[in-house]
Structure 1
């Protein structure tokens, strides 16, 4: 009775299936048919039987294996090879060899679910399906399929056994898991369709596996025969759903799994891969599939345990399979098939049916016109910039925020947010922590026991916990240990915790009881460098989160959970092509920085280039000094010199103008009453900032404080130790008398004006800005700059007097001073006047690394907005980035330098737009932004080491030559 009911249900569901249009037909179907029939007419019985077999081939084995494959081709006329381990280069050589030995072109296959790297070294690895299942834009999946197809085609592969279309409804599935697009049948189907469309568009046969569905198993068919006790209704609605939809398309092939499914095959223990009911009656007849049908590997225990080699192959063919994948004994199989044919267990018509399909597939793959595969430039063709860009795009679209209490993500507030990072898991985390540190200070905290760790974390507001597991393969364990779960729980009790999972989302299954104590959870899926980098960028708002969970985490996070987060417009980090620039051309910067070091223009430095808010070149070069003991790091600080003018003095002036405290027509006498009645009284702010105020270029104040012969500082003005009266630090063991600051201001006020009209660069007024700012805002200038700008920007290295925060080793030495301070200047400002102001001035005094300079410059480029905050109004930036005296051939904006109006003067690149602006510094620094082209550029060096008499850097215009390269690297420029 049960069998009758089962059969009637089977027939009922069968009526819903249609017939697939033959997916193996080529565009020139008449020529294809003629070629196939011509081949068929010439094939012997042995050659026909040989076409059914696809055997394993390796490109990392020796001559003995190669001889074996050649023998199999010659003696048994095998129809195809599936390449396993090896390298693309060796595989191409062997494919060319094997194809020449075969009468009929070989169908070459691979398991390349996430690209060639699933099997081959030295090839590109894309994300796993579970990661891709989180993506909402299926056009990206199609592009992924296309790229995988192009890689396959390049090395002579015609069939890629992908995609996996199993619905992974069982979290304990040991073999599918990360290989599935997820548990939602609609999502899996749409992803599979997109992948197939992309791969087959470039001439590589796709393969949907593992029919009828391997997603809800807790055993591995490589080791045993999984048992699926599901009703037909269940199978039809879940497992078979993708196939029903895919058969409406041009899906070329299917792989049948080794499964025990009693509702499909009532005979006990018969694997689906050798079931006539499953393959012929269901797959071919009722579901109407017309493409190639492959068995899963016949050496897997799920099949091999059922019958002996040869017998299992015969059973698989009789069941309806076209290609017998990885047979254990071809000799025995051929013998058994020939005997079965004689005994009429199947007809030659049945044999011809499969052989015709195989030949049609070979024609479809253009094997009828096979020419040897090109053996040069393989690596360059299968590991490309396009692949890297696509990988990044896939990860950006996949990473998923599933919890975000009170909008903790992205982290907006940086100034009063002390952040720590704690690592869980046993895999690499360098890229993640390195990227986190690019946004603000993030301290890496660790301890051998939880008590010690909690003690160290007491002073922190936010804890980022990264759980990092191996990215080597999708089968690696992703589970947290009991100890790690306890640590997560304890840390979460008293801190804001952001948990980032660089592993399968199923990791969360074991920690659901502790989820309530975490503020935010990110699923980053994989522990690749790209995933780590992009996830860190999402945490700080350089990218928005877009992904949605492809599987459910109990009833806490349903499949489809995914919270969007905003883009705060902070800098992100990528490769040049993402912003339409050439990696090859941008790398030419390396040659110029090499010249800088080799020609003794500077011991070393840093270069940063960004476009459209994305950093595409960020490198350090050379050493801190010419003794070459300490290489420059990207975290090292440099004395910015006059770049301070636009990063230190000017921001507070712009803020004051914006608030209405001053106007461009405000006079210096109005800003600083002590200048009333002086020759500076009626000079306007606009005139001062444009350098047309006839103010003296500079005053060497220090010369009057040292002996003119010995250069030794006068004792009445200096002390070696700090005291109440001598508290202005000039350098190590050198303190200036406090009252001398008034002398400096007096000298500025009394300095005679130039008689000539017109432009003359002067830094004197920026000394005065310090006085104005501190009087107006009732605070120290360095504190105010940090409060209103640097700390909120996350520019943690940008500031004055860096020795108060950083070790000397992190600061590049500036000069060996033998004329005033008589010591190596390292962390004390080089500019003598700024030093006499205690290291804090509007004209000089700032130190920074290139990354933090870039943050404030990007804020300018984004018209005053950065990191979700508005620092200055757009109109303010425009107002100060304007050349008010351009009609008088004066290029300067208000404080900002602008492109030269005279070709002889190299203020910036010859390609820089008229809207671009920036500044250079005496110590060998330079920064510039170009709104028209979205370009940001930072160059830091200590060219004045060991002496400022060395100006080769300026004489060779290296900084602007590098800037030229940046523009030249813009594609289609």
Structure 2
């Protein structure tokens, strides 16, 4: 392709290739200008350039859109956009541009970089108006533009001195002529017109960079605000106290004001498949030319967000099934459903080794207490998610499985030595990195064996260890350098007390990025976090090189998973496709197969089976929660429809167990449902369960202890004659268990944790 090369272009082109911050000028943003009523055709461009810090007004909300652009103003706009970092070094002098001139530095930089030169008599003519021809020459030279594919048919430019740059601009659709076919190259350009021309060129260059996946070039056109905005991923669970399920003006403004790179969605954001698909489509439409990461915690089992979607039995159920093909299928169907709903990022699978029964937050979210089993199943689920076009973000590095403190509530400390970390906690993460995982979530947990730094807590002035999310030794030293992870590092939620209690919002955000975090998940206040990062870049606390490296990883990952192209699909097409994907029959089949393969014998009188329910039995279901009792009763009635069962639910717990015991006397069979999760197992209320077990043993009843949560009951309950683990209180788990109690199915599962 032909490339126009006027004098000075070499220096300008070299400058373009450098990584620069676009825009540092202070001034009103576009929506603050009050005199654009007669220039609405240019309002978008003026707003865009003002937000970039490239154009500014005259104060008091005045922009003067119809005022002529002078040579001094034109080069100032371009220097602010392209070379703001060079303004401190200004040495070019012209006879009519003294050092006291308000644009002396910008004119000097423009001359040095080849954007604009002076006249033979040594003058610059700073107050002379800029013509349409000069505008084309300035912009073509500044951005090293090449000829495009469009035919040039302007009637009055062929013999003009600026014919070449006008032709380049016209052939790329960046300028046009008047109705009579003329360009009028010598006509003066207004401030509004110049803003439009610059906006067109910048957006054109950004589009070309995206198409070529030239992320260095794209970043050279991104402001500080845009770059750090890519590194923020807040939640929008509520807006003014109400669940956020539609795109409102406040969220639109937040996206634009903070240049956000993504959002995490929660169950509050989702009423049904059609609604959330409409929401995600609208969010992407507001995102400009860089698409949003839209992520969710869809682990399956106890952590699920999609009502009406496939309700997978959970990771520990997969651990009991020990089948990598089922784990891969679970990942694939999860990804297919998320993709259909407009999400491309799943914060799963959990690669934590649940080696501590007292872990209050991981438990059955983990596959197992066996590092090898976690590794095998984790890699399979990662493969399934990736095959569906969804990014798995594995968590919680370097490992959250052996803690007794929930990092949502406090700051856990893992005191194992490095040899133990290598053998257990780090094993699945190392394997995932070797297998090409693209995103890893950090844990708000301190690991003294890797980083023993302590800081003063803002909560109470005590000395607290630095958690992994804020530790350069963990994130850069261990994860990046030692384990050679090249992908994106995302933090766990910044609303969690492991961070929020001890570190101020601004301090924590800046420290996390300095440590190696690429994306801050769920900052408490995204506006404060955004401003803190912008200021840290400007004052040198955060290096531009580190920010560029993070943003480049983010852009590369968005491109790898097709985010730049997927926004072309119409909403109507997305909605039409949902019924065949969300909760589809093939997905439900996988769901039930996992649940059936997971059912595990905890103990049985014959060592093979729990006690069975017989024809015509009077069954009493004892549970601490009425909803669990109802779900068990529903599934038992459906599975035992032909067995003429009588079913009653009783509630056990403080003040209720005595009444429940009276009703057990007339039962033929007792289902004792246990659900222990999100609390410390050793501190759980086991005494009521033991009372029931002692009573049914004394009465000689057939019964089964049915574990629906973490399967650690036999560590705390004695003399249990019959019991099984289902690993979840979801419908497929309970259905599979009731089939076993009715003698309609086997128990193929193997306990995935030490008990």
TM-score bucket (shorter structure): 0.5 to 0.7
Structure 2 partner of 1:751:
none
* Shift in Å, 1:120: 3.9
CA separation in 2, counterparts of 1:509 and 1:115?
Answer: 22
Match of 1:537 in 2: 739
Paired residue for 1:761? none
SS at match of 2:235: strand
Structure 2 counterpart of 1:328: 524
The alpha-carbon distance between structure 1 residues 62 and 201, as it changes in their structure 2 partners (threshold 3 A), is closer
Q: 1:382 aligns with which of 582, 587, 599?
A: 582
Match of 1:424 in 2: 622
Say whether the 8 Å CA contact 2:613–2:743 is kept in structure 1: no
Q: Does 1:40 align with 2:215?
A: no
Q: Label 1:455 to 1:223 Cα distance change in 2 as closer, same or farther (>3 A).
A: closer
**Does the 8 A contact of 1:505 with 1:525 survive in 2?**
yes
Answer yes or no: is the 8 Å Cα contact 1:399–1:547 preserved in 2.
yes
For 1:61, the equivalent position in structure 2 comes to 243
Q: CA deviation at 1:482?
A: 2.1
- Where 2:269 maps in the other structure, the secondary structure is coil
Paired position in structure 2 for 1:465:
671
Q: Does 1:528 align with 2:725?
A: no
Q: Which residue of 1 aligns with 2:206?
A: none
Does the CA-based 8 Å contact 1:117-1:125 persist in structure 2?
no
1:259 to 433, 445, 458: 445
Q: Secondary structure at the match of 1:310?
A: helix
SS in 1 for 2:401: coil
* Cα pair 2:610 2:723 within 8 Å, conserved: no
Tell me how large the CA RMSD over aligned residues is: 3.1
Q: CA deviation at 1:507?
A: 5.0
Q: Any idea what the Cα deviations from partners look like across 1:459-486, whole Å, max 9, x if unmatched?
A: x5xx35341659xx87799956523321
2:273 is the alignment partner of 1:73: no
Q: Which deviations, in whole Å up to 9, do the C-alpha atoms of 1:386-422 show, x marking residues without a partner? A: 22211110101101113233367377996xx885533
Quote the residue 1:167 is aligned against.
353
Q: Is the 8 A contact 1:501 1:525 kept in 2?
A: no
CA separation of 1:410 and 1:118: change in aligned 2, threshold 3 A: closer
Distance 1:316 1:160, change over 3 A: same
Contact 1:32 1:363 in 2 (8 A): no
- Classify 1:212/1:475 alpha carbon distance in 2 versus 1 (closer, same or farther; 3 Å): same
- 8 Å contact kept, 2:382–2:392: yes
Aligned to 1:485: 690
The residue correspondences of 1:927-938 to structure 2 (distance < 5 A) are none
Q: Contact 1:116–1:148 (CA<8 Å) still a contact in 2?
A: no
In structure 2, distance between residues paired with 1:339 and 1:31 = 27
Deviation string, structure 1 residues 845-897 (Cα, Å, up to 9, x no partner): xxxxxxxxxxxxxxxxxxxxxxxxxxxxxxxxxxxxxxxxxxxxxxxxxxxxx
Call closer, same or farther: CA 1:64–1:156 in 2, change over 3 Å.
closer
Runs of at least 5 residues in structure 2 that lack an aligned partner in the other structure: 1-208, 455-464, 651-657
Alignment partner, residue 395 of structure 2: 209
1:232 paired residue among 406, 410, 418:
418
Alpha-carbon distance between aligned partners in 1 of 2:507 and 2:424, rounded to the nearest angstrom: 32
Matches of 2:405 and 2:610 in 1, distance apart?
40
Checking the alignment, whether the CA contact within 8 Å between 1:500 and 1:524 is kept in structure 2 is: no
Query: Quick one: distance in 2 between partners of 1:73 and 1:197?
Result: 32
1:351: how far off? Answer: 1.2
Q: 1:66 to 1:310 in 2, by over 3 A?
A: farther
Q: CA deviation at 1:168?
A: 1.0
Structure 1 unaligned runs (5+)?
1-29, 554-973
Give me the whole-angstrom Cα distance separating, in 2, the residues matched to 1:362 and 1:304: 29
**Deviations 1:298-357, CA, capped at 9 Å, x for gaps:** 121111223222221111101011111111233333333333334433432211111111
Residue in structure 1 matched with residue 281 of structure 2 by the alignment:
96
- Once the two structures are TM-superposed, the CA of residue 110 in structure 1 deviates from its matched residue by 1.1
The equivalences for 1:781-792 within 5 A come to: none
Q: Which residue of 2 aligns with 1:566?
A: none
**Would the alpha carbon gap of residues 251 and 487 (structure 1) be closer, same or farther in structure 2, given more than 3 Å must change?**
same
Cross-structure match for 2:386: 200
Look up the match of 2:666.
456
Give distance in 1, aligned partners of 2:308 and 2:726: 25
Per-residue CA deviation, residues 899-919 of structure 1 (Å, 9 max, x unaligned), is xxxxxxxxxxxxxxxxxxxxx
- SS in structure 2 of the partner of residue 406 of structure 1: coil
| SS of residue in 2 equivalent to 1:514 | coil
Contact 2:300–2:313 (CA under 8 A) maintained in structure 1: yes
TM-score normalised by length of structure 2: 0.63
Which residue is equivalent to 1:52? 231
String of CA shifts for 1:3-45, please: whole Å, max 9, x gaps: xxxxxxxxxxxxxxxxxxxxxxxxxxx9986343442332222
**Kept in 2: contact 1:110–1:119 (CA 8 A):** yes
- How far apart are residue 127 of structure 1 and its match? 1.5
Distance of 1:65 and 1:251 partners within structure 2: 32
Hey, what's the Cα distance between the residues in 2 that align with 1:44 and 1:445?
A: 65
Report if aligned partners of 1:144, 1:198 keep a CA contact under 8 Å in 2: yes
Aligned to 1:151: 337
With over 3 angstroms needed to count, the CA separation of the structure-2 counterparts of 1:107 and 1:445, relative to structure 1, is: closer
Q: Report the counterpart of residue 478 of structure 2 in structure 1.
A: 282
Matched, 1:273 2:469: yes
Partners of 2:635 and 2:716 in 1: CA distance: 22
| Aligned positions of 1:690-709 closer than 5 A | none
With over 3 angstroms needed to count, the CA separation of the structure-2 counterparts of 1:61 and 1:101, relative to structure 1, is same
CA distance in 1, matches of 2:348, 2:484: 20
User: Secondary structure of the residue that 2:294 maps to in structure 1?
Assistant: strand
Deviation readout 1:466-517 (Å, 9 max, x if unpaired): 41659xx8779995652332121221245363414141244514643222xx
Query: How far apart, CA to CA, are the structure 2 residues paired with 1:290 and 1:312?
Result: 23
**Residue matched to 1:371:** 568
Partners of 2:499 and 2:508 within 8 A in 1? yes
Residue in structure 2 matching 1:180, options 338, 353, 366? 366
Closer, same or farther: CA 314–71 of 1 in aligned 2, 3 Å? same
Relative to the length of structure 1, the TM-score reads: 0.49
Change (3 A) 1:261 1:122: same
Q: How many residue pairs align between the two structures?
A: 513
Partner SS, residue 620 of structure 2 = strand
SS of the aligned residue for 2:326 comes to helix
**For 2:661 and 2:228, how far apart are their aligned partners in 1?**
69
Aligned CA distance change for structure 1 residues 359 and 506 (closer, same or farther; 3 Å): same
Q: Does 1:437 align with 2:620?
A: no
- SS of the equivalent of 1:121 reads coil
Task: Give the corresponding residue for 1:800.
Answer: none
State the shift of 1:53 in Å. 0.9
Q: Return the match for 1:300 from 459, 473, 496.
A: 496
| C-alpha distance in 1 between matches for 2:245 and 2:748 | 50
